[in-house]
A and B are shown apart, each in its own frame.
Chain A
Amino acid sequence: DIEMTQSPSSLSASVGDEVTITCRTSQNIRDFLNWYQQKPGKAPELLIYSASSLQSGVPSRFRGSGSGTHFTLTINSLEPEDFVTYYCQQSYSSPRTFGQGTKVEI
């Protein structure tokens, strides 16, 4: 199985800040890496697929990058609704493992 290491597990920021979340994989997964946002009590929502492609309807302040084993999600100019939890997930091979999650706190 491909192991996912997502960091940090939590971070503190302010409205208007830029933050970066990192996801590393134990094997080369090319660009088969996705990012999800999860609000409390809700189902996750797809933000970024194929490492850097923005899902329809997602604001352009979200940006994904990386390939191989190292990936990042950058959120620039944080809005109040962005202070929630984010997960990476690899879709290169089964099982489609998730990272541990990053909670972005005010």
Chain B
Amino acid sequence: QVQLVQSGAEVKKPGASVKVSCKASGYRFSGYYINWVRQAPGQGLEWMGWINPNSGDTNFVQKFKGRVTMARDTSINTAYMELSRLRSDDTAVYYCARDKVSGSPFYGMDVWGQGTTVTVSS
């Protein structure tokens, strides 16, 4: 079945970096954008950006520019999100999610990973 499986929980110190992976299965990985969404404890959802697995093109929210890197390895159907210079307010659950329609961002995200908890604490 179509699914996204993310890497496990991480605990990091302030100033460190974290890299979260998202492995896709059950569909053509290169055909669907992968989004990254995060949720701080007790808070709402925050869209961070997307990567086009086919081209490697990325687009992300201005507030993360300079700190976030999104990449993919098509040989193993895996997308990655790396966040650097971590702060305590980066503590959150990070989700990857697939666009519903191949090549189109307009129709929502229909397949989600299980989430990766990232805790930033000294």
Contact = CB atoms under 8 A, between A and B. Distances in A.
Interface residues of B, number: 25
A76 to B, nearest CB: 22
A45 interface: yes
Contacts of A32: 106
A94 interface: yes
- Main secondary structure on A side of the interface with B: loop
Interface string A95-106: 111111100000
Contacts of B114: 43
Interface stretch (A17-25, A67-75, A84-92): A84-92
A46 B100 contact: yes
Contacts of A100: 44
Interface string A37-62: 01000011110011000010000000
